[in-house]
């Protein structure tokens, strides 16, 4: 059974460091949609992850790309208010993964450490801050939010996001759906899951400035639906023409890389950054900016709790709804849980060991 979240459960509950709020479940990482990716086939990471994708895309090495750093124009003034103001920003050098962290890579981590993700852990009733009789029973079960397109026109995101018990990085569409594909981005991951993986790999989550510097690759941001990205073709959320070849998440490496040799920096899945979110940029922060302090974080879709900044849009972004398939795009996201359209990649301060 899946539960359509309608906003009636709107208060935050906590599971350890997990923060979940029903409206946010639908809005945060989800309310603004996503785009592209394809990649290398590999051995299964465990018995629940498929070995290869049925889609034929370019195999990509995992070797991080070295960026020397530099100065670029960060932000955008002409699309969404939270993306401005544009200002010259400087970042130092770093290494960055050429593609989003895949199920194969995350599975290697899980097998090596026996790690259990937030989405795989059930929730304690005591951690809800609403009366027990107002909580759908399945929301007490381990699970995550899955995009489920409605069969009727709608502008309400609660009509296309559902909490699915049993959904996780291993089973991104729920227990009755297909197993995770090894070379597709790992999704349904909370902030703590990503940080645990980063520590194991010897990397970290990029700052928003580092991520945007890498994504823009010296080119100006353009508010047009990119041909070389996995985005929604058609009228969202009812009709997807799939002219890019993908109905949902794509394997990494199916589209051309940018000038830095990085794949899927826009589209496919939103990518989480280390910065806390606040609408707009601080024009005075120009040298390796780190974003607002946690206590200063504010997301109008989720007031009352800190949000992290996600970048680049996803396979759900369409011209009629989410025009965020651009390096400058940004949105707040609940750090305590994942959804089916949010992933991540790592950066490194030193050359990663082979």
Whether the predicted pLDDT of 13 surpasses 70 = no
Most confident of 78-82, 173-177, 240-244, 272-276: 272-276
Whether the predicted pLDDT of 144 surpasses 90 = yes
User: What is the pLDDT, as a whole number, of residue 124?
Assistant: 66
Cα 315 to Cα 157: distance, rounded to the nearest angstrom: 15
* Per-residue confidence band for 128, with pLDDT thresholds at 50, 70 and 90: low
User: What is the pLDDT, as a whole number, of residue 42?
Assistant: 32
- Please state the pTM of the whole predicted model: 0.84
* Per-residue confidence band for 347, with pLDDT thresholds at 50, 70 and 90: very high
Whether the predicted pLDDT of 129 surpasses 70 = no
The percentage of the chain sitting over the pLDDT mark of 70, rounded to a whole number, equals 82
The helix-helix angle for 103-113 and 191-201 (nearest 10°) equals 80
Structure-token match 């301060």, residue found: 349
Instruction: Please give the structure tokens belonging to residue 205.
Output: 């989550």
* Tens digits of residue pLDDT in 196-226: 999 999 999 999 999 999 999 988 777 888 8
Cα 275 to Cα 205: distance, rounded to the nearest angstrom: 9
User: What is the pLDDT, as a whole number, of residue 354?
Assistant: 67
Q: What is the mean pLDDT of the chain?
A: 83
Beta-carbon count within 10 A of 43 CB: 10
pLDDT (average), residues 93-114? 98
How do strand 180-181 and strand 87-91 relate by DSSP bridges? unpaired
For residue 295, give the 3-state DSSP assignment.
Answer: helix
List the domains of the chain with CATH numbers: 14-354 (3.90.1580.10)
pLDDT (average), residues 159-175? 94
* Per-residue confidence band for 60, with pLDDT thresholds at 50, 70 and 90: very high
User: What is the pLDDT, as a whole number, of residue 328?
Assistant: 95
pLDDT (average), residues 24-34? 34
- Min mean pLDDT across 50-54, 197-201, 313-317 is at 50-54
Q: Of residues 272 and 354, which shows the higher confidence score?
A: 272
* Per-residue confidence band for 126, with pLDDT thresholds at 50, 70 and 90: low
Element (DSSP H or E) covering residue 161: strand 161-165
* Per-residue confidence band for 11, with pLDDT thresholds at 50, 70 and 90: very low
Instruction: Please give the structure tokens belonging to residue 23.
Output: 């409206």
Neighbour order of strands in the sheet with 270-276 = 330-333, 308-311, 270-276, 342-343
Whether the predicted pLDDT of 187 surpasses 90 = yes
* Per-residue confidence band for 8, with pLDDT thresholds at 50, 70 and 90: very low
Cα 337 to Cα 331: distance, rounded to the nearest angstrom: 15
Cα 179 to Cα 186: distance, rounded to the nearest angstrom: 12
């Amino acid at each position: 059974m899946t539960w359509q979240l309608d906003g009636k459960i709107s208060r935050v509950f906590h599971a350890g460091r997990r923060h979940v709020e029903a409206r946010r479940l639908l809005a945060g990482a989800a309310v603004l949609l996503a785009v592209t990716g394809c990649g290398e086939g590999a051995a299964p990471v465990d018995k629940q992850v498929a070995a290869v994708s049925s889609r034929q895309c370019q195999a990509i090495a995992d070797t991080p790309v070295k960026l020397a750093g530099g100065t670029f124009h960060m932000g955008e003034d002409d699309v969404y208010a939270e993306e401005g103001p544009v200002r010259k920003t400087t970042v130092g050098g770093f290494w960055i993964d050429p593609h989003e962290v895949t199920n194969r890579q995350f599975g290697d981590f899980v097998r090596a450490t026996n790690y259990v993700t937030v989405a795989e852990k059930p929730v304690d009733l005591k951690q809800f801050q609403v009366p027990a009789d107002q909580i759908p029973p399945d929301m007490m079960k381990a699970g995550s939010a899955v995009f489920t397109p409605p069969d009727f026109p709608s502008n309400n995101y609660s009509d296309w996001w559902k909490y699915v018990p049993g959904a996780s990085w291993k089973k991104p569409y729920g227990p009755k759906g297909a197993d995770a594909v090894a070379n597709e981005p790992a999704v349904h991951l909370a902030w703590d899951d990503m940080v645990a993986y980063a520590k194991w790999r010897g990397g970290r989550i990029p700052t928003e400035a580092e991520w945007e510097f890498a994504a823009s690759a010296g080119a100006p941001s353009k508010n047009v639906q990119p041909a070389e990205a996995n985005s929604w073709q058609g009228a969202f959320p009812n009709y997807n023409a799939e002219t890019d070849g993908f109905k949902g998440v794509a394997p990494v490496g199916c589209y051309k890389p940018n000038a830095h040799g990085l794949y899927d920096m826009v589209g496919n899945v939103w990518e989480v950054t280390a910065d806390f979110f606040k609408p707009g940029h601080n024009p005075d922060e120009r040298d390796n900016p780190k974003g607002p302090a946690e206590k200063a974080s504010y997301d109008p879709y989720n007031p009352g709790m800190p949000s992290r900044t996600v970048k680049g849009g996803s396979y759900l972004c369409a011209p009629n709804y989410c025009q965020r398939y651009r390096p400058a795009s940004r949105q707040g996201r609940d750090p305590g849980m994942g959804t089916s359209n949010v992933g991540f990649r790592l950066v490194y301060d030193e050359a990663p060991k082979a």
